Amino acid sequence: MTAYISLYMFAVVCLLLMLGYPVAFTLGGTALGFAAVGILAGHFDPGFLAALPARIFGTISNTTLIAVPLFVLMGVILEKSRVAEELLSSMSGLFGSIRGGLGISVVVVGMLLAASTGIVGATVVTMGLLSLPSMLRNDYQPALAAGTICATGTLGQIIPPSIALVLLGDVLSNAYQRAQLEMNIFNPKTVSVGDLFIGALIPGLLLVGAYIAYLLIYARLQPRVAPPARVEHASLAELLRGLLPPLLLILVVLGSILTGAATPTEAAGIGATGALLLALVRGQMDRERLRLVVINTMEVTAMVFMILIGAAVFSLVFRGFGGEELIHEFFGSLPGGVGAATLVVMLVIFLLGFILDFIEITFVVVPIVGPILLAMGVDPVWLGIMLALNLQTSFLTPPFGFALFYLRGVAPPSLPTSAIYRGVIPFILIQILAMAVLWYWPAMATWLPALLKG
């Protein structure tokens, strides 16, 4: 009976989050409230809370998490220094004259922005402000324009270097070691953030290719939905000036990780420094912009780490009430074994993506279900990429997808919400197809990391 208290606690957290309470304090406050009542009733061992200082110290001393503020800093600098605007202008001049070309430009620029920022909201808002007026002005079907921007914005979940993959990699690394120790493997294998970055390359690029293929085919079958844009052709010099610097920066960051020359944290430092130098050389970084960049970075970083601390309190109390054993028993009783357990986890996380951001899901849900699935033999790299794709699909799905809300906030009133919902449906189907391919062909995520390690 006590174990069910953990489920009630989880339900209360979801309810409070839907009412709009701050995530970090909701997680920690609800857990401490349930723990206090449990201690008074004799159903909770206060010794679990004694582990909290060690958990927080482990977070503070975790060098992998240093990559979070550095990647955030890199993305905010590129956002504030008008790099996205120049990129979109250059790509529109290159592809705009063909049917669907403006949509392709949005996908390519969104992919580069996703690799730079890794934050869904930032990419959707930026692309909504920059590209939506241009697409509507060039007679693009409103639903197609909205769907393209929303889908492109969610690429930040899967295109490395992604903050989502940094956080997932750190959580899965701990979960993988716990799972192996529980199986009496005292020389455990490791999985790193770099492994997730490498594993996400092929699925991420294939997903971008599928988006572009859909736009080209749809524009060819229905010429009126995505006509050639009225844009000036960019010269080679203009194209290189807009495209090469951010592309080189991203390639240096990823290349240093792929070749083993730098850890993800060191690569994040390279990326942040390179983005700042790029903005300074272009004359797009003054004292006021730098102040805004630092404040924005500090706000996002503080939010991430406060959620991490709140999630640490929640997971300790959840375990103290026997919630982990309850879930373990449930997965073990499923008739389909590991496949059914994984499918249930994916469905639950998909639904939670309607009310929780990827940070909360990564810190709260993955530490609970991750060790159980990994102990059942699921590959950690494959699981991380599947989780990222699953959340990406959830953030696109009406009526609660976060990407839809972000675009609605910056879209003109003339663009109805129903058009946004209709526009994302083909991209959701593409996402589901990508997940199905990865489900039946795990090597798409695991082959490259194994090859580079081998």
d(CA 64, CA 265): 6
Considering only residues 225 and 337, tell me which one the structure prediction assigns the higher pLDDT.
Answer: 225
Sign of CA dihedral 5, 46, 358, 378: negative
- The total number of structural domains that make up the chain: 1
Residue 1 has pLDDT above 60, yes or no: no
Average pLDDT, the chain: 82
Taking alpha carbons only, the member of 104, 200, 196, 198 closest to residue 152 is 104
Tell me the per-residue pLDDT of 116-172, one tens digit each, with 9 for 90 and over.
Answer: 666 666 677 777 877 888 888 888 899 999 999 989 888 878 888 777 888 888 888
The pLDDT score that the predictor gives to residue 233 is: 65
Taking alpha carbons only, the member of 45, 127, 82, 124 closest to residue 289 is 82
Tell me the per-residue pLDDT of 402-452, one tens digit each, with 9 for 90 and over.
Answer: 788 778 877 888 888 888 889 999 999 999 999 999 999 999 999 988 887
Mean pLDDT score, 197-226: 91
What's the chain's length in residues? Answer: 454
- Residue 164's SS3 state is helix
What percent of the chain is modeled with pLDDT above 70? 95
Taking alpha carbons only, the member of 145, 175, 219, 58 closest to residue 407 is 145
Taking alpha carbons only, the member of 78, 67, 112, 115 closest to residue 275 is 78
The pLDDT score that the predictor gives to residue 253 is: 83
Mean pLDDT score, 371-389: 88
Cis peptide before 449 (omega within 30 of 0): no
Tokens in use for 79?
């956002």
Considering only residues 240 and 108, tell me which one the structure prediction assigns the higher pLDDT.
Answer: 108
Residue 242 has pLDDT above 90, yes or no: no
Tell me the per-residue pLDDT of 36-50, one tens digit each, with 9 for 90 and over.
Answer: 988 888 888 888 888
Q: Tell if the pTM clears 0.95, that is, is over it.
A: no
- What percent helix, strand, coil does the chain show, rounded to 5? 80, 0, 20
pLDDT band at 186 (very low <50, low <70, confident <90, very high): low
Contact status, residue 105 vs residue 92, Cβ threshold 8 Å = yes
H, E, C per residue of 170-218: HHHHHHHHHHHHHCCCCCCCCCCHHHHHHHHHHHHHHHHHHHHHHHHHH
294 φ, ψ to 5°? -65, -40
d(CA 340, CA 346): 10
The pLDDT score that the predictor gives to residue 235 is: 67
**Top mean-pLDDT range of 84-98, 306-320, 372-386:** 372-386
CA dihedral 401, 403, 405, 409 (to 10 degrees): 180
Question: Which structural domain, as residue segments, surrounds residue 354?
Answer: 3-453
Contact status, residue 87 vs residue 246, Cβ threshold 8 Å = yes
d(CA 53, CA 50): 7
Mean pLDDT score, 176-205: 80
The pLDDT score that the predictor gives to residue 88 is: 77
Residue 53 has pLDDT above 90, yes or no: no
The pLDDT score that the predictor gives to residue 94 is: 75
In the 8-state DSSP scheme, what is residue 365? I
d(CA 41, CA 245): 62
Mean pLDDT score, 173-180: 80
For residue 55, give Cα distances in angstroms to 8, 127, 303, 311: 24, 38, 18, 11
Tokens in use for 379?
């590959």
- Residue 192's SS3 state is coil
Q: Sort 35 into a burial class: Cβ within 10 Å, 0-12 / 13-18 / 19+.
A: buried
